[in-house]
Structure 1
Amino acid sequence: MSLKAAILALALLAITGAQADVSAQQVADVVWNYFTQLTGNAKETMEQIQQSEISKQLNTLFQDNLQNVNSYAGDLQKKLIPFATELHAKLSQDSEKLKEQIRKELEDLRLKLSPYADEVHQQISKNIQDLQLKLSPYAEELRGQVNQNADLLRKQLAPYAQELRDKLQENVDGLQAALAPYAEQLQEQIDKNVADMKEKLAPLADELQVKIDQNVEELRKQLAPYAQDVQDKLNRQLEGLSFQMKKGAEDLRAKLSESAEELRLKLNPYAEELKEKLRTDAEGLRQSLGPYVEGLSGQMEQKIEEFRQTVGPYGEAFNKQLVQKVEEMKQKLGPYAGEVEDHLGFLEKDMRDKVASFFSTIKQIEN
């Protein structure tokens, strides 16, 4: 699948409103992933690229929705195809140009800041300390939320194993009919609790983005007196820093959601296995269910504990990542900074801004 075909399909999906849950952010992710894959695998053939995980994800993403957008294709294709091809070409062309531009801007900025190197170093170090203090409670809050939700899920699911055990010990007729509701309820509780977990964890990323904005703005004010004649160059560097930090917050949000979904997928087979066993003949049902029920509670608790151990440290790792970004900013502004290697971050920001602007224009036309 070509890049322009991917953007065409995804852009068409985005303007169908409620019929397709695809956002400009998702399209930007696909475009950037596609670009970086082409860049990193320049020697590979197009056939290999088309078999990549990105293409598979694209196929899955709009396979169920493409029929909803066919009516838009003819009218919008003339606008979308040029945009897609131009964007792809500009990403490749602008990369080296941007690298040189950022290198020059940094040289000018470092030259201006060099008489105040110690003060700048101290200001950024102070900003890092303040950032660590502000982020610490969020790491604790995330770990607490994960622990709380894991405990709640464990408590919600535990009674089902016990009730199944009790039913099996009862010498009742119609054991299949008696146990059937538990299989459905177990499935419902898994789905409901995981959905609640996602809902409770998601707002943390929004709060972190607010803190990122505040921290970058504070850093801007702290450094402004030393960069009066090159404020635009300083602002550009800070915008790049803000983008990278916010992207980290978005990645954290995605990881939390993905981890919760992985937990649901690991727990669902227990309900499915119970349903399957209930379809067996009544005579062998009790014998079949006995070992299953005995191990059910422990197995589900193990999956929940694995989730807690995996996701709990996400907050601390995210905090370290943000502090590292500001530390890198400090090193870049130092008098002996090395070659610029993060120009791709600025290129990605520009690309995402273009995609967002394009989607905004398309939606205005559609409305």
Structure 2
Amino acid sequence: SNMKFLVVLALISVCNANVLWHEQPKTNVDLVKDAFWDYVAKATQMAEDSLKQIQASELGQEVNTKLSQSADTVNQYVVALKSQAGPLSQDLLSQITQQAETLKSRLESELSAVNTNVQPYAEKLVSDLQTKMDELKRDIAPLAEAMDPETLKAVLMQKSQDLKTTLQAQMEPYAEEMKQKMEQSIEDFQTSLMPLAQSFEAQVNQKVQEVQQTLAPYGEELKAKLEANAQDVKAQITALWEAFTQKTSQ
């Protein structure tokens, strides 16, 4: 039926656009509706005001209701994905925390050897390290929860570099040998972060693929039909438009 076709078309647009896996300012329902009406506009080359008329009509409302229902189905999968990914982001954060603690205790034990007149500097360095670590975790948490490994990797690099620069600036009062030790500890910390982020990315991608495979039966078969029947698609949308104009001209 026409309506079923519309719903499917919307689903395909959404699945193909792969918009589901990142936090978007719009809801998935809005994205589905936009994708669909955008498709209608392109396929029929309809004037914008005509399209707006359809959208506002009873027929348009009916279409939007169906689109909302299809988006809800997709949303259920997305919710399932996010619940599966929750433990992944928790795991990543606790591993980063662990590396941070390791760095902190390494620096503390290295600095415990410094003489008393440098002690106040040592305390400030450790306290600044703690602040930077807290910032890093605070900035990473929402990205891990949103399952956005790309941005997460970039922020992790930037923040760990920032941390390194801050601490290096405070190394002036120390002997060369001490500086080298501290530098090494910070380097090791930085090096430990990337594999964690990459492993997180691989796990997230796997979950996304699992969910996309679950959604694929909606999309693949129908996408093939759409491609085979491009003219038919246009005909169906045109028929929709004609049905609409008949209703409104009565």
Into which bin does the TM-score normalised by the smaller protein fall? 0.3 to 0.5
Instruction: Give the TM-score taking structure 2 as reference length.
Output: 0.39
TM-score, structure 1 as length reference: 0.27
